[in-house]
Every structure is written in structure tokens, then in C-alpha cells.
């Protein structure tokens, strides 16, 4: 156990291990994640309903969703996808959490919304083409390495029709400031979030100051098994995002405040990005 803990406390190379799919496909964890997605009083997995409403209204006001083909990448339980469909969009969602997709399909059917959901990893699997709008919401972009972001942007470019738009949000560099390095050891860490039975949970947070990168690394020790989860988050500037878009053949159109829809002013809040395929 000493060797395991010693290795756990070492600072890994940035983005050297990627475990996002494990986080969203584990039976117990995916159930807890869905619970947080659907909780209107917390921003732990999705933003609150009023924030989701504001962003979808902004997209509608800028792009006009009626009759448009839209694809919501990382759609989860369909909170944004449904709202865009309600504006008349021909909507589809992509996610690799079967539990979230099952809920999304049930909810769409209950509301008589014609939405197609695909179980897929948007980094690797086939994606719908000929889209007018592609969305990626709630910081997914910042959880990817620079190489993964380049790959994703090329895929988004290929999904879009000429003149189509990409809407996503980004965690700003000012949000990196409060990230603190810490070590935590706790029985049933995070109120039994990580496993159904008894376990010991370890968490270590690392800062990579020169590249505005944070890592929350978890070691979950259960009777009979051990596993680790790496949650990377890189905090970006509008200028950096604009450069990445241009390298992928996408034109930055607008950097906006997610709360007001107005132009974004540097502060410790995320910002929205609207880009266009030429």
C-alpha cells in the first residue's frame, strides 16, 4: 500500500492519463452523476435550469433554431437538447453514458419531442454530419488536452455545413486562481459518491501554474479492488481559444457572458464562444 500511495502523491505529466469515460460509465457513479444533473439546486453536473434557459435563449436569438439541424455533444440527460428542440430544431445528442441517454430518451418521449440520441465518444466514434449548429456545454472543452481539443475542433468543423456554427463554453484563467493544492483522506469520500459499499477515498489536487491546469486525482480503495480517477481542467483565455479555432478552420465570431449574453469582460467566471465554419 505504501508504494501505491507514494505513486498516487506524485505529480503526473499533464494529461498523461485520461479516465473520463470510466467516470461516466461506472454503474454507481453514473447514477450519482445523473442525480446531480437533474438536481435544480446545484451546479455540480449541470447548471441550474434558469442558466440553461438563458443560454438556449441566447442561441435562439443569435442563430434561430427553428428548422435547424443541431447536435449537442456531451448531451448528458438532454437538458440543453430538449430546450433547443422546443424551439423547433431538428435535434440530436451524443454522449457515452448509457444511463444519461436512457433518461434523455424517456424524457423526450414523455414530452413528445423528436430527438435522436447516439451513444458515442465524440473524440473517437462516428458523429452526425451536415449540422447547422453543434454545441458543447459545461466545460467539456477544458477537460481535454490541447491535442484532444485540436482533434475535436477538426471533427466539429467536419460536422458543420458551410456557414454552420459551434457554440461552447470555457472556464476562464481567472477561475484558476482559487484552485488550491490539497490532500484529503476520508472514509466514503464525497458522501459515498464513488462506490455503493464501504471504501476509503483519497484525493490530491495539483496545480500546473505555467499552463493554468488543475488536476483532481482520486484513489478509491474498496474491499477487493482499487481504482483511480483523473479529473483534468485547463483554464483558458479568449485569445488562446481563438487561436485554436483558427487552426481548425473555424472563425471566432463572439466571446460572450453566459449570464447576460453581452460581451465578456475578464472575471472569475466562464465565458461562451460562438464560432463559424466558413
Pair (71, 153) in one structural domain: yes
Pair (155, 266) in one structural domain: yes
Pair (256, 129) in one structural domain: yes
HSE on the CB side for 128, CA within 13 Å?
21
Residue 119 burial by Cβ neighbours in a 10 Å radius (0-12, 13-18, 19+): middle
Pair (155, 267) in one structural domain: yes
Q: Per the domain annotation, does 35 fall within a domain?
A: no
Q: What is the pLDDT of residues 92-125, one digit of tens each?
A: 999 999 999 999 999 999 999 999 999 999 999 9
C-alpha cell at 168: 461552447
Percentages helix, strand, coil for the chain, rounded to the nearest 5?
Answer: 35, 30, 35
Q: What is the pLDDT of residues 149-208, one digit of tens each?
A: 999 999 999 999 999 999 999 999 999 999 999 999 999 999 999 999 999 999 999 999
Is the distance from CB of 87 to CB of 56 less than 8 angstroms?
Answer: yes
- Domain extent, residue 210, equals 2-18+175-233
C-alpha cell at 31: 447514477
| Domain count across the chain | 2
**Single pTM value for the model:** 0.95
Pair (265, 204) in one structural domain: no
Amino acid at each position: 500500500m505504501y508504494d501505491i500511495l507514494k505513486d498516487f502523491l506524485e505529480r503526473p505529466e499533464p494529461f498523461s492519463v485520461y479516465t473520463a469515460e470510466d467516470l461516466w460509465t461506472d454503474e454507481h457513479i453514473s447514477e450519482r452523476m445523473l442525480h446531480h444533473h437533474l438536481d435544480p439546486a446545484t451546479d455540480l453536473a449541470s447548471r441550474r435550469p434558469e442558466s440553461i434557459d438563458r443560454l438556449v435563449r441566447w442561441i435562439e436569438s443569435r442563430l434561430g433554431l427553428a428548422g435547424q439541424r443541431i447536435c449537442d455533444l456531451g448531451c448528458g440527460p438532454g437538458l440543453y437538447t430538449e430546450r433547443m428542440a422546443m424551439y423547433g430544431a431538428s435535434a440530436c445528442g451524443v454522449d457515452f453514458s448509457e444511463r444519461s441517454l436512457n433518461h434523455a430518451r424517456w424524457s423526450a418521449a414523455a414530452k413528445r419531442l423528436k430527438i435522436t440520441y447516439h451513444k458515442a465518444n465524440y473524440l473517437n466514434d462516428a458523429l452526425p454530419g451536415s449540422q447547422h449548429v453543434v454545441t458543447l456545454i459545461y466545460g467539456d472543452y477544458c477537460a481535454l488536452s490541447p491535442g484532444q481539443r485540436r482533434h475535436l475542433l477538426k471533427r466539429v468543423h467536419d460536422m458543420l455545413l458551410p456557414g454552420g456554427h459551434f457554440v461552447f463554453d470555457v472556464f476562464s484563467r481567472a477561475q484558476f486562481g482559487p484552485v488550491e493544492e490539497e490532500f484529503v483522506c476520508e472514509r466514503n469520500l464525497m458522501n459515498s459518491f464513488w462506490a455503493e459499499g464501504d471504501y476509503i477515498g483519497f484525493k490530491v489536487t495539483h496545480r500546473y501554474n505555467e499552463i493554468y491546469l488543475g488536476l483532481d486525482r482520486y484513489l478509491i480503495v474498496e474491499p477487493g479492488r482499487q481504482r483511480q480517477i483523473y479529473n483534468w481542467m485547463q483554464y483558458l483565455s479568449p485569445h488562446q481559444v481563438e487561436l485554436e479555432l483558427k487552426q481548425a478552420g473555424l472563425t471566432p465570431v463572439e466571446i460572450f457572458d453566459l449570464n447576460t449574453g453581452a460581451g465578456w469582460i475578464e472575471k472569475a467566471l466562464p465565458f461562451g464562444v460562438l464560432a463559424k465554419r466558413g
